């Protein structure tokens, strides 16, 4: 029975998330490659990326595979899942778990493009079928 997989995934911080994004986009990557993807944008040094990668490994969000002398890093959790739990968390915290108010907010804040609206409409159609 799957033993006990507490599997309560440790929370990923914002800086760590930036690293995850790099890995989700392309993996496996070496630490240096990750740095190439994110260091400029965030003004980080390679050392910082290394720390973040270690922490992600500790949190079991990333796994390593030896490649000669160095390691290759790959995500262990799917972006889908991360994004899902984070969205859910927000909806729960701010809107009592209801998605409609969130949507209303985005609408009111003009955060919806024409495209968004069209896509959402299409999705609604699917849901109703």
Partner DNA sequence: CGTAGTCGATTACGCGTGTAAACGATAACA
Partner DNA sequence: TGTTATCGTTTACACGCGTAATCGACTACG
Q: Which residues bind DNA (CB under 7 A)?
A: 11-16, 30-32, 42-45, 47-48, 50-52, 54-55, 57, 68-71
How do 62-67 and 70-75 pair as beta strands? antiparallel
- Least distance in Å: CB of 45 to DNA? 4
First-last CA distance in the chain = 36
Taking contact as CB under 8 A, which single stretch among the options 24-32, 45-53, 59-67, 96-104 is the one that binds its own copies? 96-104
What are the start-end ranges of the H helices in 59-96? 79-95
Which residue has 């973040």 as its token pair? 52
Instruction: Return the number of the residue (33 or 95) whose C-beta is nearest DNA.
Output: 33
């Amino acid at each position: 029975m799957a033993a006990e997989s507490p599997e309560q995934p440790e929370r990923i911080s914002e800086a760590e998330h930036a690293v995850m994004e790099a890995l989700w986009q392309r993996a496996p990557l070496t630490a240096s490659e990750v740095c190439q993807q994110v260091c400029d944008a965030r003004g980080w040094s390679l050392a910082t990326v290394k720390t973040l990668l270690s922490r992600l490994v500790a949190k079991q969000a990333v796994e390593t595979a030896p490649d000669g002398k160095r390691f290759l890093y790959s995500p262990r959790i799917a972006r889908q899942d991360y994004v899902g739990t984070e969205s859910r968390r927000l909806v729960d915290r701010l809107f009592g778990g209801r998605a409609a108010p969130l949507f209303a907010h985005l609408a009111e804040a003009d955060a919806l493009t024409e495209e968004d609206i069209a896509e959402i409409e299409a999705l609604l159609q699917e849901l109703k079928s």
